[in-house]
Chain A
Amino acid sequence: MIRYSTPGARHRRLAVAAFAVAVTLAATSCSFSDNPDKESGAQVLKLAVGAPIDSLDPHFINNGGYVVPAGLLEGLVAQNDAGDDVVPAIATKWEQSADGLTYTFTLREDAKFSNGEPITAESVVSNYRRLLTPTGAGGGSVTNANSYQIGLGIKNASAYQTGALTDWADVGISAPDDSTVVISLDAPNPDFLLGMTNNSMLITDTAAIEANPKDWTKAENWVGSGAFTVKSWDPSTGMKLVPNKFYWDRDKVELDEVDIRVIQDPQAAILAYRNGELDVSPVSMDLISKDDKLLGETEKADGFAIDFLNVQYSQNPAAQDQRVRQALSYAIDRDKLAGVQVGTTTSNSLVPTRVEGWTDSMGVSVYDPDKAKQLLVEAGYPGGEGLPAVQVFDHRPRPVADAIVDMWKQIGVEAKVTIVDIGVWADTRWKVLDEDLMGFYINSFGGIPTLNNWVYTYWGPDSTKQFSLAPADWNRYQEIQADEKLDGAKKSQMLDNILNTKSSEGAQEFADLVEQARQTVDPAERTALYVEAATLRESLALQIPLLEEPQAFLVDPTVKGVHVRTTIEGFYYKGVTVG
């Protein structure tokens, strides 16, 4: 029996096809987020971030740092518009003791979390205790945001965090009454107040966290201390923020909504900005270098980050020879590098030039190929003869690395770029290379513009001593670190012993200078000591500075109040207006 198609059957098939398309369209519609339509006249700031907002927990290192400090959480103090000083926030005032070691903060009476509960001194202490608890903060998250504690120098904070100390009472954070928080330092720290504005030091509501330990960052459970609160959040697409009605400075919050969109492709972000879909977007200057209109709409803060080369351990003694490392640094023409990576400026020091106290004497990393060749002769490698291959070790292609390799070849050094997967890079950049290879890994760091930050926190005494160790001592150092049988105090003692007895003379001298600077209360004397220390460190060439990168945003002319600073979040949303 044969069945023939009839017009009716044809229509049925068409209907089935139409139904299939309709069902899938409906499924797509179901997965859309809220409709963006806003009330007429409402001030909505549409901005982009360049990475998924994977977490909002400030006590761990994550991409939440792009948005959380901008409006969701606030600290005892906040940064001023220029980002070089602090202004009152949850604390109305603070006092520093004569020896510079103790800060007493007075909290404002009307400070409240976004659920209306008061922010008390105990809330603040409890928040810092969570931050510093080893492996703590509820589990299931990533690396503790510990590195900033080292920069702050809160008494015993680092020891408590690593487990060397276990009694919280020993840590220099206390609350003598409901409105007073006292923080003691192990040495005077001129950056302390600015450091308190870092994402990790902002105030969360630990009571709300305890109520929903795994879900406290979800929009429906979020309780914050900042000018805004979370309306919706999808880690990979973005989030919407609305004003926190209990915020102490609510009158200064002009925006009705902040609509944040995750756009990972920088070109796509520029297109969206051009198309009027964004009011503000982070931008890499090299992508807009030939567009005068966009250049005119760029707000930037110079000296945000330093790109640098960091020496790798090698069995070959050349890597340990300061003259070889200096020769490689002198061979780099940084002006040309800045031409390769448009929008950057040359960096002759690991300290950005915008840092107060910066002097020309620190800029020892200059281009001098003749000196480079002479140093190679002095080190016993004339024309690079006898040197192992020198690599630039990276986890992604970048033209700057190729340019450096070309420059090294010009002084006779056999050089190459080695690019590996980021997992391999992370695992092996501190491993000891075989004798036929030496090298540098390339990286970038950014932070607040102070000498203490760029001389003590970044590439500080411990780090400098570590990278000056001979390969055998470095291996021993790592063995002790990995030894689970040692308790925290004993381990710290053994590690310090290696650093203090096996590191290079120059590294130890640098560490002594930094320690002197930290103990000095007089600002001029302290600056002089930091400058001397930085100059010495740069001459060791364990790290070689390359370029300074700005923090830059495209800002629509109708948007006012975007004050770009050298911090990861870029600017505060409070005080921004649209239209």
Chain B
Amino acid sequence: MQLMMFLLRRLIRLVLSLLVVSALTFGLLSLAPGSFAGIQAAGAGSTGLASGRSVDLTSQVQQRFGEDLPVWQQYKNWLGPALHGDFGYSYKYPESTVGELIVAKLPTSLALALIAVVLALMIAIPMGILAAARRNSPWDHGSMFVLTAATAFPTYLAGILLVLIFSSWLHWLPTGGWSGPRYAILPIIALTIAPAGVMARYVRSSVLEVLREEYVVAAFAKGGSRRIVMRRHVLRNALMPLVTVVGPLLTGLVVGTIFIETIFGVPGIGGLFTEAAQVRDMPLLMGTTLVFALMLMLVNLLVDLSYAVIDPRTRTGLGLSTEPAERTSGPAAVEAMMEEVKP
């Protein structure tokens, strides 16, 4: 029941937030100079337009897209159908609805981002733990050097280098395109490198912090084995900050794959979003922005729920529980463990 109430509250907040985001985005885009009609006229055939009746023709286009109406009326006209899930036809891709475009592109971006995050976690967690557990060792310095370099390595540069090495020199993989699983390998690696570096550094510093906690010291002092203490007490508590980072990182990867999409010809949503902003494709930009906002909010919801699973203390704060939670790790759990391991 409490979970249902929690989800209901979050759902109401989510809907209100989306409305605010839509109004803000629409308003800001309307304030931005330039219009779809104007940019199209400038980009193609504008000599002809200049020698004809350019403003007449541009205004015809504006009328067709409703760009000649007051902003509030444009927003009202957009919002009505949007509330029913109809975001209209894209200006840039006039033969496709915004919904069709998003449905066609989102799974690709989402899948790439998910795989990249999972791979990054698989690299970051063990490397971060090892670096922390062997602090100031050559392993620590070496791995952190590599991971810091990875963090600072721009994704587009990684993409180009990967193409040069694996496509141009070794001829193992295609330079780009999207016709089978082998086409996804290089984009995924390019997307994985920087997040792996970021998260490994988080894991390392977080583990180091937890290792200094009194309950960990106590657990070691009372005879807990290194493996058990690390797994049961250190890792569980150290992962909390990582969970906070992973959510937005995932959303950022979905949205921010524009360079990778361009280099590798991946049909993702990042390029769609960027292009919509460049050519002032209002329906497409509104649709993609709302999808990103929705994703961010859903990911944040998942992060909050995962807090409650990982650290029961947060359940009260989230309104999921009124009772103090039973701890399976941390100081109280150490006490319990010590009781249990008493001879």
Residues of A within 8 A of B (CB): 1-5, 17, 20-21, 24-25, 27-36, 52, 54-57, 60-62, 134-135, 139-148, 150-151, 158, 162-163, 214-218, 234-238, 261-265, 267-268, 271-272, 274-275, 277, 421-429, 443, 445, 457-463, 466-467, 478, 481-482, 484, 488, 491-492, 495
A480 to B, closest residue via Cβ: B55
- Compute how far the CA of A238 lies from the CA of B177 in the bound complex, rounded to whole angstroms: 9
Given A234-B104, A268-B263, list of 4 further CB < 8 A pairs? A32-B180, A143-B57, A236-B271, A236-B272
B263 partner, pick from A21, A35, A238, A265, beta carbons under 8 A: A265
State whether A28 and B265 are in contact (beta carbons under 8 Å apart), knowing that A55-B94, A150-B52, A462-B51 are contacts in the complex: no
- Compute how far the CA of A145 lies from the CA of B41 in the bound complex, rounded to whole angstroms: 10
Contact with A along B100-137 (1 / 0, CB 8 A): 00001101101110110011001000000000000000
Interface centre among A238, A275, A428, A466 (most CB of B within 10 A): A275
Interfacial chain A residues near B340, Cβ < 8 Å: 2
Are B48 and A148 neighbours in the complex by a CB distance under 8 Å?
Answer: yes
- Compute how far the CA of A419 lies from the CA of B174 in the bound complex, rounded to whole angstroms: 36
Are B56 and A481 neighbours in the complex by a CB distance under 8 Å?
Answer: yes
Are A2 and B107 neighbours in the complex by a CB distance under 8 Å?
Answer: no
A27 partner, pick from B32, B110, B160, B177, beta carbons under 8 A: B110
Are A423 and B94 neighbours in the complex by a CB distance under 8 Å?
Answer: no
B179 partner, pick from A32, A57, A264, A425, beta carbons under 8 A: A32
Interfacial chain B residues near A262, Cβ < 8 Å: 265
- Compute how far the CA of A17 lies from the CA of B121 in the bound complex, rounded to whole angstroms: 10
Are B55 and A481 neighbours in the complex by a CB distance under 8 Å?
Answer: yes
Interfacial chain B residues near A492, Cβ < 8 Å: 53
Are B262 and A35 neighbours in the complex by a CB distance under 8 Å?
Answer: no
Residues of B within 8 A of A (CB): 32-61, 63-64, 89, 91-96, 104-105, 107-108, 110-112, 114-115, 118-119, 122, 160, 163-164, 167-168, 171, 174-181, 183-184, 228, 231-232, 262-265, 267, 271-272, 275, 278, 280, 328, 333, 336-337, 340
Interface Cβ pair total, 8 Å cutoff: 251
B41 partner, pick from A143, A461, A462, beta carbons under 8 A: A143
- Compute how far the CA of A218 lies from the CA of B44 in the bound complex, rounded to whole angstroms: 24
Are B50 and A271 neighbours in the complex by a CB distance under 8 Å?
Answer: no
State whether A21 and B89 are in contact (beta carbons under 8 Å apart), knowing that A237-B265, A427-B33, A481-B54 are contacts in the complex: no
State whether A5 and B95 are in contact (beta carbons under 8 Å apart), knowing that A237-B178, A275-B175 are contacts in the complex: no
Are A142 and B45 neighbours in the complex by a CB distance under 8 Å?
Answer: no
- Compute how far the CA of A135 lies from the CA of B53 in the bound complex, rounded to whole angstroms: 14
Interface centre among A28, A34, A263, A274 (most CB of B within 10 A): A28
Are B48 and A24 neighbours in the complex by a CB distance under 8 Å?
Answer: no
State whether A277 and B122 are in contact (beta carbons under 8 Å apart), knowing that A28-B112, A28-B181, A423-B34 are contacts in the complex: no
Interfacial chain B residues near A32, Cβ < 8 Å: 178-181, 183
Interfacial chain A residues near B40, Cβ < 8 Å: 61, 142-143
Are A277 and B333 neighbours in the complex by a CB distance under 8 Å?
Answer: no
Are A20 and B118 neighbours in the complex by a CB distance under 8 Å?
Answer: yes
A145 to B, closest residue via Cβ: B45
Are B267 and A234 neighbours in the complex by a CB distance under 8 Å?
Answer: yes
Interfacial chain B residues near A463, Cβ < 8 Å: 47, 50-51
- Compute how far the CA of A262 lies from the CA of B91 in the bound complex, rounded to whole angstroms: 20
State whether A135 and B176 are in contact (beta carbons under 8 Å apart), knowing that A61-B44, A150-B52, A426-B39 are contacts in the complex: no
Are A143 and B37 neighbours in the complex by a CB distance under 8 Å?
Answer: yes
Interfacial chain B residues near A27, Cβ < 8 Å: 107, 110-111, 114
Are A263 and B118 neighbours in the complex by a CB distance under 8 Å?
Answer: no
> Chain B nearest CB: distance from A223 CB in Å?
14
Q: List 15 A-B contacts (CB under 8 A).
A: A1-B336, A27-B111, A28-B184, A32-B179, A33-B179, A134-B60, A143-B40, A143-B44, A146-B48, A150-B48, A158-B52, A218-B95, A235-B93, A268-B264, A271-B175
